[in-house]
Amino acid sequence: MRDKLLKSVGMALFVLSSFAFIALTFFVNINFDNKDLSDLIEPKHQFFANEVSTLKPAPPVWMVSDLSNAFDNYAQSIEKQNGISDKKLEGIAEKLASDPSNYNEEFIEQNFDDSFVQDRLKENTGWMIGRTWNSYEEFEKNFREKVVDVNRSVVTEYGIGSDQSDNLIPKLMKVGAAEWLKTGLIAWLIFGLGVLGGVLYALPLSFKHKGIHNDHIFHNKSQTRHYPAIIVFICLVGFYIVLYQFPAYLTNQIVLLKPLAEKLAGTASDRWFLYGFLYTISMATMGFKMMLKYRGNQYQQVRTLSVIFFQVAFAFTLPQIMTAFQMPAYDLKSAWPLEYTFFFDYRVDQYLNEGTLGIFLFGWGIALFAIGVPLLTYFYGKRWYCSWVCGCGGLAETVGDPYRHLSDKRLTAWQIERWLVHSVLVFAVFMTVWVAYTTFTGTSELLGLSSYSVRSVYGFAIGFVFAGAVGTGFYPVMGNRVWCRFGCPLAAYLGLVQRFKSRFRITTNGGQCISCGNCSTYCEMGIDVRWYAQRGQNIVRSSCVGCGVCSAVCPRGVLKLENKAEEGRINDDPILIGREGATLNL
């Protein structure tokens, strides 16, 4: 009765907190009335600023559209006033209909008064001058396409271009957010209720006997692919899509953290500060649950404290403090190729322009992936990073722990995993070569490919879709290590070192295995641990992150995490069958 009450109250508080968080997008108005927009909108655009200030108050879900329409209307007015209008095009048609070959620079100067428009036309339609056209329709089709580009340039020059408007909308939204949201009190209420709910929900674990309890996880609808898990799946994927692609809809949620952002970083809160904060408190809250769940297992408790510490101190707090002191914000534990922007030109320029500190950070990053990663992996396996330091792994181990048994153990999944994760590593290396070439030569083209295009594709496909929406959002349907198994390029790099040159292995005592299957069930990396245990074969799989849960759930002590000499690490034929019977080759 007590346990059920605690879990019910905890779940109710968490759901209430989640609904309040989401509701900010739909029910709390953005209002520009009497708001000073001069810091964001230049005086020459005062007409537009006046139009924004008259917008009817509305929540973010509607205000984003209203602002977009306001920008579009302003662009149309600028285009009509300074650009090439449809009426102007009709006049051009009358003059060139009989002979389009009369279109030349002199024609442009005679028919267009604005020097900026003249220059853009000469630039965009230079290839059309002096050509012979089969018909005016052919000329007009090409000319109209270029006029669109010219008018876009006119809007950027005299008004507010599309790129600038995309950046302005979130900033304007934050100015128009309700002041009572920015005090910090609502943040304490919403996030406090969520954390309290998580703690109460986990508290019944403290009343159980020490050890990991199965508790019918395959019959729990919230931990299998039933409607509660599907709801969580939809919410997580939806959050990542909005965070990366439509951050203006999270304006009210972002301004909640304004006081904290100003104290830590000395700047206003933004979507990445909100994400980092949510990431950190989620890990800390679910880490508390892990500490209760693994009472009596020192390895698991220290490991949990380690990933929480590195997330709180290194991934969240330290970069904010560095920003406050106007230093390059850098997560000192994040290594290439997981930190795929490390060699981007703006990052390298930032480091080199910061003097001694910047050069140190740049050197640290290179030393970490070139020396630190292979050296530590040789002595301790990839677990030193994936299970003790990495924020992605830390989120998987804490927030994703209820779904760890959903990791696919089939051979087909293993084959897909090997091809996919190493393909991402190759893509990361390929992208880094292109980007580094641009950074150190100033030329963006290499072998006919633009480095900016390559890094844009990588950022969207891997940084957003794979690492974010799929890597975390798919916890409830594919297990908690989707990103680590199938997509993380650093995990692939660590895994190659661990597989071929490492002292780490999980040893098995096949004579003691009772084939209960606990080890395979709880393996988050999709390794069929029982298959190895039954044969007394050491586990040296490159995907193994050394979390140690397989050893913790084994009722017979069959599995042991070890760092020993490389000799005898790989024992492919541990069971020998001959005339005298079956023996173990240990």
Q: Would you say residue 253 lies in a domain? A: no
Asked if residue 262 is part of any domain, the answer here is no
Do 497 and 413 lie in one domain? The reply is yes
Name the phi and psi angles at 175, rounded to 5: -65, -40
Interatomic CA distance for residues 413 and 385, integer angstroms = 24
Q: What is the band of 575 on the pLDDT scale with cuts at 50, 70, 90?
A: low
Same domain, 128 and 241: no
Indicate the residue among 484, 502, 520 that finishes a domain.
Answer: 502
Cα-flanking dihedrals φ and ψ of residue 445, to 5°? -95, 130
CB contact at 8 A, 481 and 407: yes
Q: Are both 478 and 335 inside the same structural domain?
A: yes
Same-domain status, 240 and 341? yes
Let me know if residue 97 belongs to a domain: yes
Looking up tokens 């707090």 gives: 317
Is residue 319's pLDDT more than 70? yes
Asked if the structure places residue 111 within a domain, the reply is yes
**Closest C-alpha among 312, 344, 311 to residue 328:** 344
| Highest mean pLDDT of the ranges 16-20, 132-136, 437-441 | 16-20
Under the banding of pLDDT at 50, 70 and 90, the label for residue 585 is low
Does residue 421 surpass a pLDDT of 70?
A: yes
> What's the rounded Cα separation, in Å, for the pair 453 and 435?
10
* Assigned domain for 273 exists: no
579 vs 586: CA distance, rounded Å: 19
Taking the C-alpha atoms of residue 322 and residue 324, their distance in angstroms, rounded to an integer, is: 5
The answer to whether residues 482 and 522 belong to one domain is no
Asked if 504 and 563 count as a contact pair (C-beta separation under 8 A), the reply is: yes
Q: Indicate whether 337 and 460 sit together in one domain.
A: yes
Rounding to the nearest 10 degrees, give the CA dihedral for residues 74, 75, 77, 81. 140
Dihedral of the CA atoms 204, 206, 210, 215 (nearest 10)?
Answer: 10
pLDDT band at 490 (very low <50, low <70, confident <90, very high): very high
> At which of 502, 533, 549 does a domain end?
502
Q: Which pLDDT tens digit goes with each residue over 369-403?
A: 999 999 999 999 999 999 999 999 999 999 999 99
Average pLDDT over residues 397-423: 94
Residue 464 in domain: yes
Higher pLDDT: 105 or 475? It is: 475
Range of the domain at 218: 208-245+328-502
Q: What is the pLDDT of residue 578?
A: 45
Range with lowest mean pLDDT among 59-63, 274-278, 556-560: 556-560
Quote the CA–CA distance of 45 and 168 in Å, as a whole number.
13
Q: What is the CATH number of the domain that holds 525?
A: 3.30.70.20
Say how many domains are in the chain: 3
pLDDT, residue 580, reads: 55
312-320 long-range contacts, Cβ below 8 Å, gap at least 24?
Answer: 312/280, 312/284, 315/276, 315/279, 315/280, 315/391, 316/276, 316/277, 316/279, 316/280, 317/264, 320/261, 320/264, 320/265, 320/273
Residue 311 lies in a domain: no
The answer as to whether 312 is a domain residue is: no
Q: How confident is the model at residue 104 (pLDDT cuts 50, 70, 90)?
A: confident
What is the Cα–Cα distance from 275 to 240, expressed in whole angstroms?
Answer: 9
Say what the pTM is.
0.91
pLDDT band at 131, cuts 50/70/90?
confident
In this structure, is the dihedral angle defined by the CA atoms of residues 203, 209, 212 and 215, taken in order, positive or negative? negative
Written as six digits, the tokens of 76 are 């149309």
536 shares a domain with 452 = no
* Domain finish residue from 456, 482, 502: 502
Regarding whether 572 and 475 lie in a shared domain, the answer is no
Q: Is the same domain home to 397 and 527? A: no
509 and 417 share one domain: no
CB-based contacts of 315: which residues, under 8 Å, 6+ apart? 276, 279, 280, 331, 333, 334, 391
Q: What angle do CA 119, 120, 122 make, to 5 degrees?
A: 65
Element (H, E) at 2: helix 2-27
C-beta separation of 344 from 439 below 8 A: yes
